[in-house]
A and B are shown apart, each in its own frame.
Chain A
Amino acid sequence: MTITVKCFASLAPLQPKNAGAFPIAPGETVARVMERLRVPEGGASLIFVNNVHRQPDTVLRDGDTVGFFPPLGGG
């Protein structure tokens, strides 16, 4: 099982080399992926799974796309 990982803005340096085919175990959560990427505690305030805002306890499925953003604003 693999997912696509996207780390944006100040989290960009955490983007893994295999971001387009990042392997995950069955039942793996967003929180676990953040651990593996070493996203600091509270560092990703916005998490999108397949373009929908989700919480860290979301269980990922094969082919999902996950985006991480630090706190940000604009307008």
Chain B
Amino acid sequence: MDTILRIDVGAAGGPKATPTPVGDYAGLGGRGLTSAIVATEVPADAHPLGPENKLVIAPGLLSGTAASMSGRISVGCKSPLTGGIKEANAGGQAGQLLARLGYAAIVLEGARQGDDLYVVRISKDGVTITADPSVRRATNYQLMDKFLGEYDKTGAMIAIGTAGEMGYGNSTVSITDMEGRPTRHAGRGGVGAVMGSKGIKAILIDAKGAKSRKPADPEAFKAASKAWVEGLEKHPVTGEGLPAYGTNVLTNVINEAGGLPTRNFATGQFEGASKISGETQAELEVARGGSATHGCHRGCIIQCSGTFVNKDGRYVTKQPEYETVWAHGANCGIDDLDVIAELDRLDDDYGLDTIEMGATIAVAMEAGVAKFGDGQAAIELVREVGKGTPLGRILGSGTATTARVYGIEHAPCVKGQAMPAYDPRAVKGIGVTYATSPMGADHTAGYAVATNILKVGGDVDPLKAEGQAELSKNLQIATAAVDATGMCLFIAFAVLDQPDTFQALVDLLNAYYGWNLDAAGVAAYGSKILAFERDFNQRAGFTSADDRLPRYFKREPLAPHNVTFDVSDAELDSVFG
């Protein structure tokens, strides 16, 4: 991983790939590398879809090694949705394979010439880039049908669907899973549109002949690897809870805690929660011959995913995650898992972020475009987005834009990005993360839900303002560091509770790179990444006024606890103050 592959899409005669040394970026991976490159090389006043923006795709520091859970990949740029810096994180096979081929990152840069769409092919033997008129307006599953034969055995595809091609603020970069399906997405912030603006439709990776990466100290790495796996297997969440029910086990928990945003964040409990819960979902999947335990990439031992099949036993989509089930379910008043699975499939196919899309439909429902609870109407709306009708283009521009177009105050967004599946009034720690993360409203940036609700890594009362700023700050720093390693964030449940498992992760890094990191060093590493991101956002015009929730969360109480968001502005400013 000492090479950055730079693809100049403006080169004479078509995009040209040049391998360059990592140079000053050495020691950075994943989100650390994407944020460093964007903060250093992209002018903060660049238009997100203009020639000065760059799309950076980077596996993590431990991706491509034998360490379990290390296959995550980061996609970074200036976000078309937020106007700030963005790192969107995904699973799938591509992270491991790119790392094995020796790439620390792929950077798409320069000014697109003409409107041809290109397919990039990367293998041990080098890089080829060809214009391919047949991929125009292809969806992700259509791209899979076209290219699966090329990448199914030893490769992966990174691609954009129609959403990215049309430049939507809501558009993903898809990554194929172990079956070669485009089910894993760098979802948030419109990264797909930036790839589309560079005229690159798909990147096909073939890692045939590439070897697993070799650590500086193989013995120490092996020992750390063993402790790492043992730690994950012995923790009840990573060892049992997540494999059995997947992330959607949260529907019942968050509903019980009164923090499940329902009908565009109007109330904190959904009467149909049990019908769309992880328990019901797992039962349905198994009864129909799907699967409730499955990994998104080789080397994942937690396996929070699954396979959703219809009543005839035919594949529909991967097991919709909690965030998706919430966004298209409770938040739209929809209590039908088949409808939710269909929406998940459409989102993956067009390349849409499920959180943003669900939040947008809920706003449209509040505006009267469709009725809450009407699943068929929701499906039709997503089809409009995929087709690019005028209404579809409005919805594809995201939740904040849709609310503006329809004159709705209730846009549950921070920095233009929709809030995920936890109401910040009833889970105040996550509200602090939504407000202050450089990414816009993002639960993964500092998952205070763990401590507020799940009582992992401590216990802070979700309904009180006290202690939330400190909690969010520490989690945001730790998360930035984890996002640099290529490790799936779900390892945090074990790492937060078990000091020896945290140590195993540090040992993996030290053994691989010959470093001497300690806990303080990890925190400093995370802080450095956040500093890059905050600095970029400041130069892009963000101030403390952007580190706030929309006013109505302070004014309108949420049932059943009848709470408002009352973490003070001073406390919010203390997170990075």
Contacts and interface: CB of A to CB of B under 8 A. Distances in A.
Contact of A75 (B256, B257, B278, B447): B447
A46 B450 CA distance: 12
Nearest to A65: B256
B279 A72 contact: no
Contacts of B238: 73
B242 interface: yes
A59 interface: no
Interface string B308-332: 0000000000000111000000000
B50 interface: no
B249 A48 contact: no
A58 interface: no
A74 interface: yes
Q: Chain A interface residue count: which class?
A: 10 to 19
Contact of B256 (A6, A12, A70): A6
B279 A9 contact: yes
A8 B252 contact: yes
A53 B257 contact: yes
A22 interface: no
A69 to B, nearest CB: 6
Contacts of A26: none
B502 interface: no
Q: Chain B interface residue count: which class?
A: 35 or more
Interface in B234-272: 236-238, 240-242, 244-250, 252-253, 256-258, 269
A72 B322 contact: no
Contact of B489 (A8, A48, A67, A75): A75
Given A9-B279, A51-B561, A52-B463, A74 B250 contact: yes
B560 interface: yes
Contacts of B240: 10, 70-71
Given A53-B453, A72-B454, A9 B257 contact: no
Nearest to A71: B236
B456 interface: yes
Interface string A19-60: 000000000000000000000000001101001110000000
B318 to A, nearest CB: 15
Contacts of A75: 247, 250, 322-323, 443-444, 447, 449, 489-490
A46 B455 contact: yes
A10 B258 CA distance: 21
24 contacts: A6-B256, A8-B256, A9-B245, A10-B244, A51-B269, A53-B455, A53-B461, A53-B462, A69-B256, A70-B240, A71-B237, A72-B242, A72-B454, A73-B241, A73-B454, A73-B490, A73-B493, A74-B247, A74-B248, A75-B250, A75-B322, A75-B323, A75-B447, A75-B489
Interface of A: 6, 8-10, 12, 45-46, 48, 51-53, 67, 69-75
